[in-house]
């Protein structure tokens, strides 16, 4: 089986190298060398004052680690086999830039021998350590059969913080250990910190044992052990609990008392360590490879999942979003084209109606003034003066109407141009409508109407006709009185009747002249209105065509630019989508290979760990 797990571990190393993870590759290589090493490295961790050092002394039946009140373990202590008792402080050089602490080759570490009676000072960091140097630890060698079989015990400084677990020395890191012993005394149950510490270690280490120390000082240590097992089960930590008493173990060794030794609980702990030592190349190695595979796959899959999620997010902010923006610009230009055309058509229709009404209202006011004037004035007397006034009034009306037409056309041009405001530049036409210079010359000429005059002959004839009737009527009446028909009375009455006939005829002629003039002026004003409104309509249609041509050309320019931008965005989006699809296929292929590698590692044992999430979360 050694060949199988070693092949899997080598495949993990090749996978790390293929993904460019030199840090993981270094970790896998260290784990490979560690698993091929026949020694079993046992790491002892726990909170302060839990009896870790005394536990190591009891395992090997020797006072290797300093214990006692006031003793504080500052440096990790490595206890291993030696032909003769020895001690030394091993210190690495300061870490160079770009090289992690503890990464110095073993050939350049400094070893400072320490006398056996100075081990306590060495562990406390008082002797043998050079200030400013790198991480250090104390190495103790003892001639013990258990150590000679390949067991290496590592005592660590007590801590209740996971971040400082094992101290700062790489030799005390859980990743360097084959077996981890967490020491917790029997005076209390496992604390939350200890459970968190176990969960942290179990993520990357398969072989963890909880050692419940100091059973000799607590009468109900068995109940504490049961509650600890329940806590471990509730937390999902598959670690056994082994109660021990270091004091009983040392006392039994001194008295060579097998019964007391069995009561200390150490035979079960030592049996577990020996089983791990003999099974390191098989069960322990396979479990370690499974843990390494899980850690490596999780760390390699995490950036792949993040990249997939990032690509999905970039679809909304990268070339695809620019393509959508370009499509929106095309749609907006289409809507803008419809809006400005509708605006131009509607406003021009309103303008024609308003201009016609304005001109009609101005001519109506002129005609009203004409009617009021010639209700009393005699055209024979006032015609010349009135003709000049009428011409001026019509010219002023035409100029005012054209001025309003110009203003409205300018306003319409700005109203239509407002539809292009979002494109950020001036879109008004470069020309403007002006007042015609020969507007007065365009007016129709006013023909002088034929006005009847009351000549002297007409007056004489009218007077004689009126006087004859009066003289005859009153002359007949006077004959009844015996007077002749022609007498002073009848002659006087005839003269009165003749004068009245002249006055009546004069008034009738005046009214006919006034009616004739009004009719002539009405026809003239109507001709003026027809000609002017035709000119206004022609000017309005010309302006409409010019505005239409101008804004149509502008729309075509914008459309060409926007369509070109859309084509570029689409080409970029298609290229990006192809690259994105290719990259996603590569990522999914890598994830598939990682999943296969993980499954291959899990097949090293009959049981399976929790699956690793390779696909991105929804």
- Reported as a single tens digit per residue, the pLDDT across 583-608 is 888 888 888 888 888 888 888 765 54
**What percentage of the chain carries pLDDT values higher than 90?**
21
Residue among 431, 432, 439 at smallest CA distance from 407: 432
According to DSSP, residue 41 is labeled E
Highest mean pLDDT among 11-15, 282-286, 327-331, 377-381 belongs to: 11-15
- The pLDDT-based confidence of 96 (bands split at 50, 70, 90) is low
Could you tell me the two tokens for 374? Answer: 């010639």
pLDDT number for residue 233: 94
pLDDT number for residue 612: 46
pLDDT at 582 over 70: yes
pLDDT at 302 over 80: yes
pLDDT number for residue 614: 47
Give the Cα separation of 130 and 133 in Å (integer): 6
- Reported as a single tens digit per residue, the pLDDT across 434-487 is 767 666 566 666 666 666 555 566 556 655 665 656 666 666 666 666 666 666
Q: Which residues contact 413 (CB under 8 A, 6 or more apart)?
A: 428, 429, 547
**CA dist 618 to 225, 309, 537, 613, 615, Å?**
43, 9, 67, 12, 9
- The average pLDDT across 224-247 equals 93
Give the Cα separation of 458 and 22 in Å (integer): 134
- Reported as a single tens digit per residue, the pLDDT across 3-55 is 688 888 888 889 899 888 888 888 888 888 888 888 999 999 988 888 899 99
Give the Cα separation of 97 and 455 in Å (integer): 132
pLDDT number for residue 432: 74
Question: Higher-confidence residue: 139 or 73?
Answer: 139
- The pLDDT-based confidence of 120 (bands split at 50, 70, 90) is confident
Contact 439, 398 (CB under 8 A): yes
What is the pTM assigned to this prediction?
0.58
Tell me how crowded residue 297 is: count the other CB atoms within 10 A of its CB. Answer: 23
Count Cα neighbours of 535 within 13 Å in the Cβ-side half-sphere.
Answer: 20
pLDDT number for residue 494: 65
Question: Higher-confidence residue: 327 or 411?
Answer: 411
pLDDT at 1 over 70: no
Reduce the secondary structure of 135-196 to three states and give it as a string: CEEEEEEECCHHHHCCEEEEECCCCCCHHHCCCCCHHHCHHHCCEEEEEEECCCCCCHHHHH
Q: Which residues contact 145 (CB under 8 A, 6 or more apart)?
A: none
pLDDT number for residue 608: 47
Residue among 310, 45, 246, 262 at smallest CA distance from 160: 45
Give the Cα separation of 416 and 294 in Å (integer): 68
Give the Cα separation of 33 and 28 in Å (integer): 9
Helix (H) or strand (E) holding 78: strand 77-81
**What percentage of the chain carries pLDDT values higher than 70?**
79
- The average pLDDT across 306-329 equals 74
């Amino acid at each position: 089986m050694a060949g199988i797990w070693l092949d899997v571990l080598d495949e993990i190393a090749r996978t790390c190298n293929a993904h460019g993870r030199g840090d993981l590759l270094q970790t896998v290589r260290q784990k490979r060398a560690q698993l091929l090493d026949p020694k079993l490295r046992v790491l002892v961790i726990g909170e302060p004052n839990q009896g870790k050092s005394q536990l190591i002394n009891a395992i090997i039946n020797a006072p290797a680690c300093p214990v006692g009140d006031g003793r504080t373990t500052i440096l990790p202590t490595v206890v291993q086999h030696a032909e003769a008792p020895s001690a030394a402080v091993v210190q690495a050089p300061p870490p160079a830039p770009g090289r992690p602490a503890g990464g110095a080759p073993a050939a350049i570490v400094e070893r400072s021998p320490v006398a056996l009676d100075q081990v306590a000072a060495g562990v406390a960091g008082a002797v043998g350590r050079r200030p400013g140097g790198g991480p250090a630890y104390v190495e103790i060698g003892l001639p013990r059969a258990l150590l000679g079989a390949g067991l290496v015990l590592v005592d660590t400084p007590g801590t209740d913080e996971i971040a400082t677990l094992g101290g700062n020395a790489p030799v005390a890191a859980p990743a360097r250990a084959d077996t981890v012993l967490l020491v917790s005394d029997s005076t209390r149950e496992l604390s939350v910190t200890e459970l968190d510490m176990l969960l942290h270690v179990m993520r990357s280490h398969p072989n963890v044992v909880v050692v419940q120390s100091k059973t000799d000082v607590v009468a109900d240590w068995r109940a504490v052990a049961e509650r600890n097992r329940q806590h471990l089960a509730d937390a999902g930590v598959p670690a056994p609990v082994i109660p021990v008493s270091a004091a009983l173990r040392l006392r039994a060794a001194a008295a060579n008392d097998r019964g007391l030794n069995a009561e200390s609980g150490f035979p079960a702990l030592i049996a577990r360590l020996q089983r791990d030592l003999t099974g390191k190349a098989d069960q322990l190695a396979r479990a370690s490879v499974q843990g390494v595979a899980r850690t490596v796959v999780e760390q390699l899959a995490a950036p792949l999942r993040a990249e997939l999620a990032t690509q999905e997010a970039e679809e909304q902010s990268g070339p695809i979003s620019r393509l959508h923006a370009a499509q929106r610009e095309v749609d907006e230009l289409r809507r803008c084209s419809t809006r400005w055309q509708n605006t131009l058509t509607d406003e021009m229709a309103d303008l024609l109606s308003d201009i016609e009404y304005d001109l009609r209202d101005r001519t109506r006011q002129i005609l009203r003034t004409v009617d009021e004037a010639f209700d009393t004035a005699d055209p024979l007397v006032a015609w010349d003066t009135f003709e000049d006034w009428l011409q001026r009034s019509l010219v002023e009306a035409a100029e005012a109407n054209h001025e309003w037409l110009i203003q409205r056309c300018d306003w319409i041009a700005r109203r239509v141009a407002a539809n292009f405001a979002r494109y950020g530049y001036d879109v008004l036409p470069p020309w403007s409508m002006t007042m015609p210079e020969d507007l007065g010359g365009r007016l129709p000429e006013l023909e002088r109407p034929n006005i009847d005059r009351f000549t002297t002959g007409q007056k004489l004839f009218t007077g004689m006709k009126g006087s004859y009737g009066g003289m005859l009527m009153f002359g007949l009446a006077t004959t009844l009185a015996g007077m002749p028909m022609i007498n002073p009375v009848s002659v006087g009455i005839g003269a009165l009747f003749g004068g009245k006939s002249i006055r009546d005829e004069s008034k009738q002629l005046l009214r006919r002249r006034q009616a004739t003039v009004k009719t002539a002026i009405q026809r003239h004003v109507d001709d003026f209105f027809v000609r002017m409104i035709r000119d206004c309509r022609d000017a309005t249609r010309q302006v409409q065509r010019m505005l239409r041509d101008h804004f149509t050309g502008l729309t075509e320019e914008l459309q060409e630019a926007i369509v070109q931008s859309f084509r570029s965005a689409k080409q970029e989006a298609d290229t990006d989508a192809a690259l994105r699809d290719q990259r996603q296929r590569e990522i999914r292929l890598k994830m598939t290979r990682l999943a296969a590698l993980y499954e291959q590692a899990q097949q090293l044992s009959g049981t399976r760990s929790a699956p690793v999430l390779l696909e991105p979360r929804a």
